[in-house]
């Protein structure tokens, strides 16, 4: 039986930073992702988790354009983005691997309704803006904006995932030999209420959900693919340097941006401490990263 790899695709890898959020741009990047994952799937049983920051932010903007109804909550927009990206990924993977079944599963993930992030949003969503644009949008829509590199973006609550509600379905599909696209956008955030599960206004970080999935599946490897080719120290300075092989203890000595590389490093370190091997690298180099010829490897 093939070893299991959980592959996490960043929303910014599927829609590059600064690109217009068009269907054509997303499809072009999804074709690149599908090609990389198809190669991985020849050697591994694959579960794919994808981000949705740019996509769910675009849906939120489109949501505001029709003002005759109240805006849909973020959990519903997250489900919409999960269906959209899951469909596009499944179709491209099936085209590349016609003899392999590919399933895209809407996935609910339990969070705490009183998670601290509800009061301190850090998750970037939507397109990038300059300072003037961001100020106008923040005032008009009561949004919280934070700096993302040289740009400014909207931030929303990002509660931590604590349980994958649909994990048994994922298990069933993987055991049937299918490639499974799940926990999209970090999963649909839900919490337990008086009458069962109910949606939560937030967007779960997909890297943390990917780690939770990898641990619950007892996967062999966790691969986080993004628009950066590795984890860097002193990023953006003359001293910047890539980490190629590191440990959770070494990573804990450094600070990484909370809205971008921070969750990826946290997720990789968490899975490494669990006993697996975690990798962070560029979308186009997926198999090379797993083979430890590119990217960053995190292991105890």
Question: Where is average pLDDT lowest: 67-71, 79-83, 183-187, 266-270?
Answer: 67-71
Q: Do domains 44-219 and 220-300 have the same CATH topology?
A: yes
Could you tell me the pLDDT band of residue 10, with boundaries at 50, 70 and 90?
confident
Is the per-residue pLDDT at 12 higher than 70?
no
Res. 49 pLDDT band, cuts 50 70 90? very high
C-alpha dist (Å) from residue 35 to 40, 85, 151, 287:
9, 15, 30, 10
Give me the chain's average pLDDT, please.
92
Residue 47 has pLDDT above 80, yes or no: yes
Q: What percent of the chain has pLDDT over 70?
A: 99
Stretch 257-275: mean pLDDT: 88
Which CATH class name applies to 44-219? alpha beta
- Identify the band that residue 249 occupies on the pLDDT scale cut at 50, 70 and 90: very high
Q: Which fold has domain 220-300?
A: Carbamate kinase (3.40.1160)
What's the average model confidence in pLDDT over 14-41?
88
On the question of pLDDT at 15 being above 80, the answer is no
Q: Which two tokens stand for residue 99?
A: 């003899």
- How much is the average pLDDT of 267-290? 93
Put simply, whether the predicted model's pTM sits higher than 0.85 gets the answer: yes
Residues marked active site are found at 11-12, 123, 206, 264
Q: Residue 259 — very low, low, confident or very high, per pLDDT cuts 50/70/90?
A: low
Extents of the domains making up the chain: 44-219, 220-300
State yes or no: pLDDT of 279 exceeds 80.
Answer: yes
Per cent of the chain over pLDDT 90 is: 70
Encode the chain in three state secondary structure.
CCCEEEEEECHHHHCCCCCCCCHHHHHHHHHHHHHHHHHHHCCCEEEEEECCHHHHHHHHHHHHHCCCCCCCCHHHHHHHHHHHHHHHHHHHHHHHCCCCCEEECCCEEECCCCCHHHCCCCEEEEEEECHHHHHHHHHHHCCEEEEECCEEEEEECCCCCCEECCHHHHHHHHHCCCEEECCHHHCEEEEEECCEEEECCCCCCHHHHHHHHHHHHCCCEEEEEECCCCEEECCCCCCCEEECEECHHHHCCCCCCCCCHHHHHHHHHHHHHHCCEEEEEEHHHHHHHHCCCCCEEECC
Per-residue confidence (pLDDT) for residue 149, from 0 to 100: 80
């Amino acid at each position: 039986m093939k070893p299991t790899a959980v592959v996490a695709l960043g929303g910014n890898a599927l829609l590059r930073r600064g690109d217009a959020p068009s269907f054509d741009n997303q499809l072009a990047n999804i074709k690149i992702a599908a090609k990389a994952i198809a190669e991985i799937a020849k050697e591994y049983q694959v579960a794919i988790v994808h981000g949705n920051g740019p996509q769910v932010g675009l849906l939120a903007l489109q949501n505001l354009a029709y003002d005759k109804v109240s805006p849909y909550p973020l959990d519903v927009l997250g489900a919409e983005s999960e269906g959209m990206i899951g469909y596009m990924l499944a179709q491209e993977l099936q085209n590349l691997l016609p003899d392999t079944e590919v399933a895209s599963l809407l996935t609910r993930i339990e969070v705490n309704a009183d998670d601290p992030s509800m009061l301190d949003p850090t998750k970037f969503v939507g397109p990038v803006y300059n300072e003037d644009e961001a100020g106008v949008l923040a005032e008009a829509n009561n949004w919280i904006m934070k700096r993302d590199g040289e740009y400014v973006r909207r931030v929303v609550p990002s509660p931590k995932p604590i349980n994958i509600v649909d994990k048994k379905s994922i298990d069933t599909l993987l055991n049937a030999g299918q490639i499974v696209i799940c926990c999209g956008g970090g999963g649909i955030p839900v919490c337990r209420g008086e009458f069962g599960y109910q949606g939560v206004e937030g967007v779960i970080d997909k890297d943390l959900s990917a780690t939770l999935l990898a641990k619950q599946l007892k996967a062999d490897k966790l691969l986080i693919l993004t628009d950066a080719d590795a984890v860097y120290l002193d990023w953006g300075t003359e001293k910047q340097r890539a980490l190629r092989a590191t440990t959770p203890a070494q990573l804990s000595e450094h600070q990484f941006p909370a809205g971008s590389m921070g969750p990826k490093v946290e997720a990789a370190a968490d899975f490494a401490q669990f006993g697996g091997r975690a990798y962070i690298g560029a979308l186009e180099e997926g198999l090379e990263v797993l083979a430890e010829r590119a990217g960053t490897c995190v292991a105890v």
